[in-house]
Amino acid sequence: MRDDPWLAERLGRPAITVEAQDDPDVSAAAFLQTRVPTSDVARVGALERAGWSVIDVTVTLAREPGFEPRAGVWSVDTAAAGDRDGLLAIAQDDYDVSRFHLDPQIPGAVARRIKHDWLAACLDGKRGDRVLVAAGDDGPAGFLAVLRTPATQVIDLIAVRAAARGTGAGRALVAHLLAESGETVEVGTQIANVGALRFYETLGFTARDTRYVLHRHG
């Protein structure tokens, strides 16, 4: 088991990640979280008998680098200091499908704060590699936070403000990353977010892994 002090601070109670080898019947006055391969039905059953609930299924997709961006209305660049407030507003207000938003025992205000603070950490250089912003005449339309690993570049967080959805802002962000990347690009999304799955498929991503996401509120 691993403590998650960052998440605990935002939830206002201890947060613990339970690993595959841990007893599912954990006795703790805390928020518990775990991920289980979708092939491990026995583990999921043991967790459910111990009071855990399936919140969603994480789908990890990937594709090789290289892409020819289309000309469009959105320019993409590294986020600047002047973009900060607009991007944080998108992170806070324009997410509606995440494991925190989907968990009925996590208040909406808390779920919004988690996304706001997550992006703030990326902008402050405390998490990840960099943040890309898609901007037009009326300011930022969306962002993409990049987390680099030795062999991949991971889309750690991505969002487009509601009014700009369907205009190509999200595509411009991902296409920019694919065009400049020399490594495999990977992204995780929720199976409940069918729109995101279709979006990544149109850009050539394919599913690589699926895992149940389970929570328990002790």
Length of the chain equals: 218
Least confident segment among 52-56, 69-73, 121-125, 176-180: 69-73
What does the pLDDT read at residue 196? 94
148: helix, strand or coil: strand
pTM (predicted TM-score): 0.90
pLDDT, tens digit (0-9, with 9 covering 90-100), for 83-117: 999 999 999 999 888 999 999 999 999 999 999 99
- Mean pLDDT value across residues 190-206: 94
Sequence-ordered strand ranges (E) for 10-123:
15-17, 31-37, 53-63, 75-78
Per-domain boundaries in the chain: 62-217
pLDDT, tens digit (0-9, with 9 covering 90-100), for 153-185: 999 999 999 988 888 999 999 999 999 888 999
Residues 6+ apart with CB under 8 A from 133: 76, 77, 78, 79, 80, 83, 87, 140, 142, 143
Contact 78, 131 (CB under 8 A): yes
Decide if domain 62-217 falls under CATH 3.40.1390.30: no
Please identify which residue in the block is written with the tokens 């775990």.
34
What does the pLDDT read at residue 132? 97
30 half-sphere exposure, CB direction, 13 A CA radius: 19
- Mean model confidence pLDDT for the chain: 93
Q: How confident is the model at residue 69 (pLDDT cuts 50, 70, 90)?
A: low
